[in-house]
Structure 1
Amino acid sequence: SGGTTSVSTNGLVTAGTYNVTATYSGDANFTGSVGTDTQTVNQASTTTAVSSSPDPSVVGETVTFTATVSPVAPGAGTPTGTVTFVATDGVTTVALTGTLSGGTTSVSTNGLVTAGTYNVTATYSGDGNFTASTGTDTQTVVQAATTTAVTTAPDPSGAGAPVTFTATVTPVAPGAGTPSGTVLFVATDGVTTVTLTGTLSGGTTSVTTSGLVTAGAYTVTATYGGDANFLGSTGADTHTVTQGATTTTVTSAPDPSVFGETVTFTAVVAPVAPATGTPTGTVTFVITGGPTLTATLSGGTATATTSAVGVGTSPVTATYSGDTNFLGSSGMDTHTVTQAATTTTVTSAPDPSVFGETVTITAAVAPVSPGSGTVTGTVTFTIDGAGGGTQTATVSGGVATITTSTLEAGPHNVFAIYSGDANFTGSTGTDIHTVSQSATTTTVTSFPDPSNAGDTVAFLAFVQPVAPGSGDPTGTVTFTVTDGVTTVTLTGTVDGDGVAAASSPLATAGVYTVTAVYGGDTNFTGSSDTDTQTVVGA
């Protein structure tokens, strides 16, 4: 029209350089002709919009990201190619790729496994006709709910037996993943409470305890404390604890013992596996040929002592009475008691004694430790040397005594032989007893006194033992009579009455000193005395 024509198209949908040819077809007056030009088509700009659903979601829930890529006017058409999605909260990052179809692509993931706010970036890579672009969004992920299931094994168990508590923590759909953190187990029967903590591994934790030591029904609660991605939850179960079986073992020490020795009887009460713990209560010891004793357990052990077990082998039974948590049981043993050894100690008193003195000889018969008790039977005493001999005495209160006053001066070996009895063995003791000479007193007298010159004067010496000595001194007495001018020496023999006599005339008048010296003998010491004798003129 007027030599010009224009046409429009949006069909240049690929970027590049186009050759444009315009061909005029001619008319009745003009011939046709051709003209050419070039047209450049650039890539159209795009915008990328990204969204997510559901938003918010819970940890592990499947989330769908959708990206829509649109040309920016005056560009038109349908972009092709791929979109890369990156979702991150700084801890967890998920990268996904989707292919556009009709300008749109969607991808899904359950990889958002940490709670928080995720920045979601969708990056369109562009194609031959459209430039790249990026879109952003946020996705909120909250903690997932959980359930906690708890089981116990074995159930029932014996008191003190090991019991394993297991807790399994599971996300509640649509949540997914593996909870972490700790589980607090509390088991109680109202008397005994046990608290344990376990750490989840793969969503499960198990703890073992031997602390269920009272029989009864326990409520077991497992409380999951939650973590950054999962909410806490609680589960409960019941567990039954029965009385545990026991064994009782009895021993005695020392074994064998000797008569009168203190013996300790020990009963150890132990749980029978798998039961554990410490039994309480009492144990009764029945000793054949001995007493019945009762003792209280402490730390699973009861002890009782006695020294009243007779000589021989005695069966011993220990019976545990049981308690709330443990069943009773019994154990047996035998205990042997042998005769106790003795020592015999011989003493004499007084020691030394003097001739003629009454001497008490004592044998003390005593058990040798650890033996004890009252010794019975007899002791035979044998005393050597002059005046000795053999005597037998009965032991009373552990002592046997004899007396003698016939021992002559000198050392005497004393032997005491204890004969033993049903509970004690015999023994022998020795001692040396010394008998010293007995002191004496000598008394001298003369008669007639006064006498006349030339008269015969009798001199008498009376020799007597000094108490506690006794007996009859023997030997001689020497009389010395002198007035300083005339001296007469006489000798007299001591008779059975202890008297020695001698006589002599004194020819000169004056006062004479009369000295009598007893020379002693084997058993008596010497002694002397003086007197005066007056001689007057005839």
Structure 2
Amino acid sequence: CGQTVTVCATVTAVAPGSGTPTGTITFTGAGLNTTVPLNASGTACVTTSSLTNGTVTAVYNGNACLSSSTGTAPATVNQAASTTTVSVSPNPSVCGQTATVCATVTAVAPGSGTPTGTITFTGAGLNTTVPLNASGTACVTTNTLTNGTVTAVYNGNGCFKPSKGTKGVTVNNAQTTTALTITPNPAGCGQPVTFCAAVTTNAPGSGTPGGTVTFTGPGGFSQTVALNASGTACVTTTAGTSGTVTAVYNGGPCHSPSAAAANLTVNPAPTTLTAPPAQIRLRTNGTFVIPSMSATLKVTSSAAPLPGQLVTFKANTPLGPITLGTALTNASGVATLAPPMLPVPSTMVTATSYTASFAGTSCYAPSSATASLTLVLVPLLP
């Protein structure tokens, strides 16, 4: 197919006629339809590269001296061999990058012409059939190429045999960017705080990264969380101390690792200390005592009791404060001064109030409360 072929017809006079015929020959069939003049030898030829299987018919159209005649000859045209070459651009590429895969089919001599038909692309993430264009090329554009080998099979046609081409494809991991947010920031100690990492693919790559993010933070915090369908991972914890929070994307089969860091500021949580009124009582033995004295410590934002914290009690006299003692808060956040019937000096009778105070910690802010301290002389206590 496509090979250059010459078809000739020679006309001779039949005895008793003689001489060299003149005039024209009309060739039809096997892809021909043309009229050619005889040369001085009585021969007419046509040269073509578009011959097809069939029968060539040559009709001598006669002249004033010689009558017309017809001759035939079979024409066998075999399929020409073809060659398929494959190109990938860009190659190497990165995961999710748009790449174009092309296959060009050419005729192998002595065949000629531009092959028509289709190319089937397989391998490296491809499985599609594409028609050849007028130049004998078929292309497919995709952003889902994978590492491997692209195979392009020309499926042939009536004129050209099938052929196959291959091309190795390298697809590298796409680079990523991790962005970290902390909410709220600053946070109060003991307050819930959420760390979120959003992982995106850097151009020319595309697609949403998958995999996990490992969060680390102050106080030895460490937790690994899977990315959701949007490429985001979040974790909520309790704010303890200030420090650096780090989010490390651990990478995936298509994406490279990346990391981000941010500073978390944790402010001491406000506290509230409450104290009820207390009394100074006189005992029958002539001594002064305080039968009971307590204070309750809570976290202001949640009103949750704050156990295990030291509260100091002081009586407020005209001559200045007098320390009565200290006590730890219990599970209910209540600090109770002990022992019961706390003896106090006679100078305490001038006090009209007392103050309970919490000095605060790295996590909890200080607070205090002042309540009345009343001298009650009767009835006497045992």
TM-score (norm 1): 0.49
* Counterpart residue type for residue 9 of structure 2: A
Residue matched to 1:110: 49
Q: Which residue type is aligned with residue 269 of structure 1?
A: V
Residue deviations 1:367-421, cap 9 Å, x none? 657x98958798x9xxxxxxxxxxxx9865465599xxxxxxxxxxxxxx99996
Distance 2:78 2:109 in 1: 13
Tell me, in whole angstroms, the C-alpha distance in 2 between the residues paired with 1:374 and 1:208.
65
Match of 2:117 among 161, 173, 181: 181
Query: Structure 1 residue 83: deviation in Å?
Result: 1.9
Runs of at least 5 residues in structure 1 that lack an aligned partner in the other structure = 1-58, 347-360, 381-392, 403-416, 428-470, 473-538
Deviations 1:156-182 (A, max 9, x none): 333443333221111111112222232
**Match among 114, 117, 129 for residue 197 of structure 1:** 129
Residue aligning to 1:308: 239
Letter in 1 for 2:161: L
Unaligned runs of 5+ in 2: 276-293, 314-326, 337-355, 368-377
Displacement, 1:334?
3.6
Counterpart of 2:196 (choices 266, 285, 288) is 266
**Residues 368, 104 of structure 1: CA spacing in aligned structure 2 closer, same or farther, 3 A cutoff?**
same
Shift of 1:106: 0.6
Whether the 8 Å CA contact 1:267–1:318 is kept in 2: the answer is yes
Q: Distance in 2 between matches of 1:160 and 1:265?
A: 28
Distance of 1:419 and 1:213 partners within structure 2? 65
Q: Kindly provide the amino acid, as one letter, of the partner of residue 158 in structure 1.
A: V
Determine the C-alpha separation between the residues in 2 that align with 1:168 and 1:241: 23
1:97: Cα distance to partner? 2.8
Mark the CA change 1:166 to 1:374 in structure 2 (over 3 Å): closer, same or farther.
farther
- 1:120·1:138 contact (CA, 8 Å) conserved in 2? yes
Whether the 8 Å CA contact 1:252–1:335 is kept in 2: the answer is: yes
Counterpart for residue 177 of structure 2:
247
**Shift in Å, 1:105:** 0.5
Q: Which residue number in structure 1 is paired with residue 285 of structure 2? A: none
Change (3 A) 1:67 1:401: same
User: Are the counterparts in 2 of residues 251 and 333 from structure 1 also a CA contact under 8 Å?
Assistant: yes
Check 1:325–1:79 CA distance in 2 against 1; reply closer, same or farther (3 A cut): same
For residues 334 and 28 of structure 2, what CA distance do their matches in structure 1 show? 113
Quote the residue 2:246 is aligned against. Answer: 317
8 Å CA contact retained: 2:305, 2:332 = no
1:97 partnered with 2:29: no
- Please list the CA deviations of residues 484-524 of structure 1 after superposition, one character each: whole Å capped at 9, or x if unmatched: xxxxxxxxxxxxxxxxxxxxxxxxxxxxxxxxxxxxxxxxx
Counterparts of residues 340-355 of structure 1 (less than 5 Å): none
2:261 counterpart residue number? 332
1:262 deviates by 3.2
Give the greater-gyration-radius structure (CA): 1
Q: For residues 306 and 25 of structure 2, what CA distance do their matches in structure 1 show? A: 111
> Which residue of 2 is the match for residue 65 of structure 1?
7
Distance 2:146 2:297 in 1: 58
141-150 vs 129-138, which moves further: 129-138
> Structure 1 residues 183, 316: closer, same or farther in 2, change over 3 A?
same
Partner Cα distance (2:304, 2:258) in 1: 34
Map 1:377-526 to 2 at 5 A: 396-397=330-331, 399-400=333-334
1:526 corresponds to: none
State the Cα distance separating 1:87 from its structure 2 match: 3.0
* Residue from 160, 165, 175 that aligns with 1:235: 165
Secondary structure of 1:142's partner?
coil
Q: State how far apart, in whole Å, the 1-side matches of 2:99 and 2:166 are.
A: 15
Moved more, 279-288 or 96-105: 279-288
Report the counterpart of residue 353 of structure 1 in structure 2.
Answer: none
Q: Which residue number corresponds to residue 207 of structure 1?
A: 140
Matches within 5 A, 1:355-370: 365=298, 368=301
- Deviations, residues 297-351 of structure 1 (Å, cap 9, x unaligned): 45544333212344x6x432222344565433221234455666889999xxxxx
Q: From the superposition, tell whether residues 175 and 302 of structure 1 become closer, same or farther in structure 2 (CA, over 3 Å).
A: same
Quote the Cα distance in structure 1 between the aligned partners of 2:306 and 2:23.
117
Q: Secondary structure at the match of 2:225?
A: strand
The alignment status of 1:163 with 2:81, answered yes or no, reads: no
1:78 aligns with 2:49: no
Is the contact between residue 344 and residue 363 of structure 1 (CA under 8 Å) also seen in structure 2?
A: yes
In 1, the alpha carbon distance for the partners of 2:305 and 2:61 equals 111
How far apart in 2 are the matches of 1:244 and 1:270?
A: 10
Report if aligned partners of 1:259, 1:338 keep a CA contact under 8 Å in 2: yes
**1:340 and 1:372 in contact (8 A); partners too:** no
**1:126–1:282: structure 2 CA closer, same or farther, 3 Å change rule?**
same
Residue 77 of structure 2 aligns with which residue? 141
Which letter does structure 1 place at the counterpart of 2:50?
G
SS for the counterpart of 2:11 is strand
Residues 240/213 of structure 1: CA separation in 2 closer, same or farther (3 Å cut): closer
Q: Please tell me whether the aligned partners of residues 87 and 121 of structure 1 are also in contact (alpha carbons under 8 angstroms).
A: yes
